[in-house]
Structure 1
Amino acid sequence: MIKALGSLMFFALLLSLWYIYRLRLDLRFHQIQQKELDDYALEVESIYRQMRGIRHDYRNHLQVMQAYLASQDYLALDQYLQELTNEMNQVDTIIRTGNTLIDALVNTKLTRAQANGVEVHASAIAPKELIISSNDLAIILGNLLNNALEATLNGKHHEPPFIRLYIAPLKNTFYISVQNSMAQRPRQNFLSLKAPNRQGFGLKRIDTAVSKNQGLVNRQWEEGVFATEVTLPLQK
């Protein structure tokens, strides 16, 4: 009887420890998720603040250039144009769908990729409004691009690294395809795209958000190219 009671208490202790572990893991997951959403919000705010500032100063820029032109100070005019070009190139308009969140995320992430020597090919068509929440869409698209960017920057490639993005409505679904160069084969079952001692929180967040919205995720790796396809319903 005492032996059975001891075994029961030991089992209860193990169950309690497992429950505490799961709680801590879930808490860590949500902390990372919230931090990433906060980062996305800052990126969106930054890019549009910069764009509003450029539009606001548009007339001032024209007046300065007209003054240089009137005084025939072409050297100063050329330098001024170069400074404006550098400022505009800080965030390129790689896509323009009219969907604020998609445009801001894609343009910010892929501009960063280009600045690091990654070849970028992007085509996107998106409705201004989708039934998926902005938070879930940011989690899915943001993590897809983060994973692609990390793989292209950290991997050893025989050719220039690349990212290919395609977004469009397709047969009553919202289709997202991301392909990127990735020399090393991912871990089994795509548990993580990172080193074995690092957990793939990004993949888990994508899967959770897609499943929540009754969508599908398909991942493949072949001959140095990693591809992810996500389909989400356009209507409830």
Structure 2
Amino acid sequence: MIKWMILFLDILAYVLRSVICLFLICRSLKLEKPCLRAGVLCVVGTIVVVICTGLMNITPFYQGILMAFVIAFCTGQSQKEKLRMCLCISIFYEIAVSFWEFLLSAGLGVAWGSGVFLDKTALSGQAGGWLLNLFLAVLALFVFKHPDLTYKEVFRLVSSVVMAGFIAVITLNSQTVLDIPEDTMFMWMILSVILMMAVLVLNISRQYEAEKELARLKSEQAELLERDYTTLNQAYSVNAKLFHDFHNHIGVLRQFLKNEKYQEAAAYLDELQEPLREMTDTVWTGDETIDYLINSKMAAAADRQISLQAEVEFPRHTNIRSADLSAILGNLLDNALEAAEKVNPPEQRTISLTIRRIHQMLVIKVENHFAETIQAEHGQLKTTKTQKGLHGWGLKSAQAAAAKYDGTVSTDYEDGLFRAVATLSYHGVTKE
């Protein structure tokens, strides 16, 4: 009877641990697809493994290895490319769980002066495992209620737990209450060191991935800026050509007017104006690049039957570089144009651009109507574009540029209105 009760408790304990591991993997790897199916498979697989290993008297070590493979398979079956990372996390998760279960059981044994807490075949031996399950449940609840945890906060938490385990196993090795075999203590000490090394390697890997992403952002931002500067140079070339031929155009117009051919003169003026339709005389900021960027986006909006209203209050002579401001403003306006173009009827295609300075803070706000369903995951917006390439990097590029000035780019949406707000700190500079 006791044997079947212990088997039932083992099944409950391992199911709980597996589900928590599944949740932590989905959250840490930001898996795009829902994990409901993976959770069902994980529960079923866990029950099968625990029953089979329990009836066959397989050691907890091999039982943990099998559980790690089950969790990794169930988690990574929706995204094959992340299967290796799922397996890595699940293996070290099982090692950490077994390690802390041993520490808690040994701690109870030292406190009560009895080694029965280390006996897994006794009901008392389940106490340490269920204390650990309680801790894991609290940890999962904490992570669930704090979806905005930063990587540094998570790394600090995991490092603290691993370091506490290492100190605990060193302390346990010097106690004299329980008679724990030396090879067992040596094994757990080695595993505690392996856990610390795993956390360090994971941190290094995460930093490498962050550096790669930053390099991609810089490359994408440079490409966007090159596109805008190329368009600007082309517009200036057209303008220079027009002024170069200005005396010829004046002669033609003078001839039309002299012969009272007013309609021909008007048509000729329209023809001259066509190449410069996107160029206007509006000065928004005093920065030629930014002014052209706003004017060109307004012209593009007009071509798409989009109403773009701008209110600009821009500080002069600041440390904000034109290239960074172009990356932020260009990306926000491009996203707004793309979203507003899909809105029907055309009368509802509106974009509002507001640039304000508040003390030493520059605030850029872009609002637009949208028609498609906005998809978000783990607090980040997902691109609705199906093609690969630069899609989905617009906001990240803007965020990278804003971060140079201790700024942020935030987004929110409600009632069919999307809002993107960029804030940048600045200070004045002396113009030579």
Short-chain TM bin: 0.7 to 0.9
**One-letter identity of the residue aligned with 1:64:** V
Instruction: Measure how far apart 1:180 and its partner are.
Output: 1.2
Tell me what 1:222 maps to: 414
Instruction: Measure how far apart 1:127 and its partner are.
Output: 3.8
| 8 Å Cα contact 1:95/1:106 also seen in 2 | no
Instruction: Measure how far apart 1:168 and its partner are.
Output: 3.3
Q: State how far apart, in whole Å, the 2-side matches of 1:190 and 1:73 are.
A: 64
Tell me what 1:195 maps to: 384
| 8 Å Cα contact 1:110/1:120 also seen in 2 | yes
Tell me what 1:129 maps to: 317
**Alpha carbons of structure 1 residues 166 and 83: separation in structure 2 relative to 1, 3 Å:** same
**One-letter identity of the residue aligned with 2:370:** M
- Which region of structure 1 is more displaced relative to structure 2, 104-113 or 168-177? 168-177
Q: List structure 1 runs of 4+ shifted beyond 6 angstroms.
A: 16-20
Q: State how far apart, in whole Å, the 2-side matches of 1:196 and 1:61 are.
A: 46
TM-score for both structures, normalised by structure 2: 0.47
Q: State how far apart, in whole Å, the 2-side matches of 1:159 and 1:113 are.
A: 12
Task: For residue 427 of structure 2, give the secondary structure of its aligned residue in structure 1.
Answer: coil
1:133-188: per-residue Cα shift (whole Å, max 9, x none)?
222112111111111112122x3434531211122333332221211111234223
| 8 Å Cα contact 1:95/1:122 also seen in 2 | no
Task: For residue 351 of structure 2, give the secondary structure of its aligned residue in structure 1.
Answer: strand
Instruction: Measure how far apart 1:75 and its partner are.
Output: 3.5
Task: For residue 45 of structure 1, give the secondary structure of its aligned residue in structure 2.
Answer: helix
**Alpha carbons of structure 1 residues 38 and 87: separation in structure 2 relative to 1, 3 Å:** closer
**One-letter identity of the residue aligned with 1:200:** G
**Alpha carbons of structure 1 residues 55 and 225: separation in structure 2 relative to 1, 3 Å:** farther
Tell me what 2:293 maps to: 105
Q: State how far apart, in whole Å, the 2-side matches of 1:29 and 1:110 are.
A: 26
Q: State how far apart, in whole Å, the 2-side matches of 1:57 and 1:128 are.
A: 35
Name the Cα RMSD after superposition.
3.3
**Alpha carbons of structure 1 residues 26 and 231: separation in structure 2 relative to 1, 3 Å:** closer
Tell me what 2:305 maps to: 117
Q: State how far apart, in whole Å, the 1-side matches of 2:315 and 2:246 are.
A: 29
**One-letter identity of the residue aligned with 2:276:** M
Task: Please list, as runs of the form range in 1=range in 2, the aligned pairs for 1:1-236 lying within 5 A after superposition.
Answer: 24-93=212-281, 95-153=283-341, 155-160=342-347, 161-188=349-376, 191-192=380-381, 194-195=383-384, 200-235=392-427
**Alpha carbons of structure 1 residues 64 and 30: separation in structure 2 relative to 1, 3 Å:** same
**One-letter identity of the residue aligned with 2:216:** R
TM-score for both structures, normalised by structure 1: 0.80
Q: State how far apart, in whole Å, the 1-side matches of 2:274 and 2:379 are.
A: 39
Q: Could you say which structure has the higher strand fraction?
A: 1
Q: State how far apart, in whole Å, the 1-side matches of 2:307 and 2:278 are.
A: 16
Larger CA Rg, structure 1 vs 2: 2
**Runs (5+) with no aligned partner, structure 2:** 1-185
Q: State how far apart, in whole Å, the 2-side matches of 1:31 and 1:126 are.
A: 28
| 8 Å Cα contact 1:99/1:127 also seen in 2 | no
Of the two structures, which has the highest relative contact order with CA contacts closer than 8 Å and spacing of 6 or more?
A: 1
Q: State how far apart, in whole Å, the 2-side matches of 1:37 and 1:200 are.
A: 17
**Alpha carbons of structure 1 residues 26 and 176: separation in structure 2 relative to 1, 3 Å:** closer
Instruction: Measure how far apart 1:132 and its partner are.
Output: 1.3
* Identity fraction in percent: 27
Q: State how far apart, in whole Å, the 1-side matches of 2:362 and 2:205 are.
A: 42
Q: Could you say which structure has the higher helix fraction?
A: 2
Task: For residue 192 of structure 1, give the secondary structure of its aligned residue in structure 2.
Answer: strand
1:174-206: per-residue Cα shift (whole Å, max 9, x none)?
221211111234223662352286762111111
**One-letter identity of the residue aligned with 2:223:** K
Q: State how far apart, in whole Å, the 1-side matches of 2:300 and 2:215 are.
A: 30
Tell me what 2:171 maps to: none
- Which region of structure 1 is more displaced relative to structure 2, 97-106 or 162-171? 162-171
Task: For residue 381 of structure 2, give the secondary structure of its aligned residue in structure 1.
Answer: coil
1:4-47: per-residue Cα shift (whole Å, max 9, x none)?
89xx7xx69x9598777656544433322221121122122223
| 8 Å Cα contact 2:306/2:346 also seen in 1 | no
Q: State how far apart, in whole Å, the 1-side matches of 2:226 and 2:371 are.
A: 31
| 8 Å Cα contact 2:217/2:396 also seen in 1 | no
**Alpha carbons of structure 1 residues 61 and 170: separation in structure 2 relative to 1, 3 Å:** farther
| 8 Å Cα contact 1:43/1:104 also seen in 2 | no
| 8 Å Cα contact 2:351/2:367 also seen in 1 | yes
| 8 Å Cα contact 2:360/2:426 also seen in 1 | yes
